[in-house]
Amino acid sequence: MRLAILASLSLGGLQSFAQTTFDIVHSNVSSGFAVGYSVREIHDGYIVFGSQTELDTVNQDCSISIFNEAGLFVDEYYLHRPRFEGFGSQDPIGTIPSGGFVAGQTTFSGGEPVDTVFAVRFNAFGDTLWTKPLLSDTFASAVKAIAKGDHFYFTGLEASGVLLGNNGYVMRTDTSANIELFRLDPTLDMPMTLDVDDQGNMYLGGKSRDIGNGKGYLLKIDSMGDELWHAYQPKPKGNWWGVKHVFGDKLLCMGEWQSYILPPPGEPYDNTMYLAMYSDDGTLQWQYSGLKGKPTSYTKAFFTDGYQDSDSTFIVCGPIQQLAWNRAVIYRFTADGDSLWRRDYAHFGNVVNPTAFPEIPWDIEPTSDGGMVLTGETWNGDTVPPYSDVNMWLLKLDAEGCLVPGCQYVGINEIAYGLEHALRAWPNPGTGRINLALDLPEGLHLEGHLQLQVYDARGRLVVNRNLGGQLAQDITLDLTGQPAGFYSAHISDAHRILTGAKLFVQ
C-alpha cells in the first residue's frame, strides 16, 4: 500500500509539472475596460463571459472571449443592445449538461424607463442560439443562472417603482425559457448567488434587509417554490457572494462580514473574508474568518467563488485589499474548514509603489488536467489610449495552485507576486547547462537575501543558492548530472516567492 501511495504521489508530481499554466491579461482596444466574470474550459481552450466597452452607442456590453490552451487570445464578439448591459458579477453563467451555456442578461439605463432581463442560450463555442425576454420592471437584474436537469434557474432583483423597495427573486424555466416558477422574497434585499440540488431545491444567498441593515442571508426553497428554511449570517453585518451545494449534503457559503454598519467616530472599518458551511437543513457546521481588509470603506475583502475538488477538499478564491497590498487569494480547505494552503497572485504586482488598484478573481473552475483556471479583473493604472486601467484577467494554475509548478515545495505560501517574466531561462530545453537572467523591478523591497531553489518533478531539492540582494543578475545552472525531465526554479526572499521558471533537461 505504501509503495502504491508513493507511486501515486510521484505520478501526481509529474502530472503537475506537465500542466500548462499561464497568467495573461486581455485589454480592450476600444479605450475602455474589460472584465471576465465566468470562465469555462472548452475544446482546445477557454471561453470567458465578461463585460467590456465596445465601439457602439453605450460603454458597457456583454462580451464572449475565446483563448487557446496556452492562454493566447483567439476571437471575441459582443452580445450587445443599444443600452447598458451585464450578465452579473461572480460566475453568473450556467453550464448546460447537454452542452452549451445559459445566462441572464440585463439591459438598463440608456434613456429607457424600465430594465429588462433576457435569457440567453449559447452553444459550446459561445455562439448565441437565442434570446428571450423574462422580466421587465422599474429596476430588474439577473445575477446568476444555473442549468440543472431539464430546467434553467435565475436569480436577481426586481422592484416596481422607486418607493417600493427591492425584492430578490428566483425563477425556474424550461430549456426554452418558458417560466414555470417565479417567487419574490422581500427579505432578500440583495440576491447574489444561487445553487440547485438534484431534487430541484434552490439555495439563494445574498444580503438581508431586515436585521442590522444587511447581513448574509441564506434561503432554501423547494421545487414547488415554498420556503423550507432561512438562516442569517452569525455576524453583525455582511453578505454572501457565493453558495455551492457540496459533499452531497452541505452548503458552502462564501462572502464577507463587518463588525458594524458604520464604525463609531474615530474607529476604522472592519472588512473580513468569510466562509461558512451549513448542512442542507440549515444548521451551521463551522465558520472561518480569513484576511482582514484595510480599515477604509469599500475595501474588497471577500470570497467570491469556489468548487469541490475531486478529493475531500474544496478550493475558494477572492480579492483582498490591505494597506499597500492588493491580491487575489486562492485557498484549499478540508471539508471541515481547515486551511491546507494559500496562494496569492497579482498580474500587475504593484510591488514597488502599491496603489488602490484591486485584483479580483470573479470565477474559479477546475480543469481537465487536474488544475484550475480563474478569470476576473486586474488594474494597472494605464489610462493611455487605446487601453484602460481595468483588464480582463485569465490565470491558469496547476493542481497545487502554482503558476510555476513546484511552488508547494519552496515552503513559502504567503505571496507569489506574478512576476513570472522577471526570470528567463535558455537554452530551455537544454542538455544540463542552463542560463538564468533575473530582472526584478528596480526599487523592489526585499526581506533578506534572494534565494534560488531548483526542484525536480518529485519535489527533490537539487539547487539551493543564496543570490544576495542584487535585483538584476545572470545565473548559470549546471544540471548535467541530473536525470532528464522537468525541473522548476524559484526565486524568493525570506517571506515571498517572487518569480520562477519551468525548466526541461533533455
CB 467 within 8 A of CB 486: no
Q: Which CATH architecture has domain 421-505?
A: Sandwich (2.60)
> Which residues of 61-215 form beta strands (DSSP E)?
61-68, 73-79, 84-86, 94-95, 101-108, 115-122, 128-137, 139-148, 151-159, 167-173, 179-185, 188-196, 202-208
> Which residues of 313-405 form beta strands (DSSP E)?
313-322, 325-334, 339-345, 359-366, 372-379, 390-397
Q: Is the peptide bond before 386 cis (omega within 30 degrees of 0)?
A: yes
Phi, psi of 421, deg, nearest 5: -80, 0
Instruction: Strand 450-456: give its sheet, edge to edge.
Output: 461-468, 450-456, 485-492, 497-505
Q: How far apart are the C-alpha atoms of 367 and 396, rounded to whole Å?
A: 9
Q: How far apart are the C-alpha atoms of 395 and 28, rounded to whole Å?
A: 17
- Report the SS3 class of residue 35: strand
Task: Note down pLDDT in tens along the chain; length 506 residues.
Answer: 223 322 333 344 445 556 889 999 999 877 789 999 999 999 999 999 999 988 776 789 999 999 999 999 999 999 888 889 999 999 999 999 999 999 999 999 877 889 999 999 999 999 999 999 999 999 999 999 999 999 999 999 998 876 556 789 999 999 999 999 999 998 888 899 999 999 999 999 999 986 556 899 999 999 999 999 999 999 989 999 999 999 999 999 999 998 876 667 777 778 999 999 999 999 999 999 999 998 877 789 999 999 999 889 999 999 999 877 788 999 999 999 999 999 988 887 655 445 568 899 999 999 999 999 999 999 887 766 667 789 999 999 999 999 888 888 887 666 656 677 889 999 999 998 999 999 998 878 888 999 999 999 888 999 999 999 999 999 999 999 899 999 999 999 988 888 999 999 99
Map out the domains of the chain as residue ranges.
Answer: 421-505
Q: How far apart are the C-alpha atoms of 498 and 394, rounded to whole Å?
A: 19
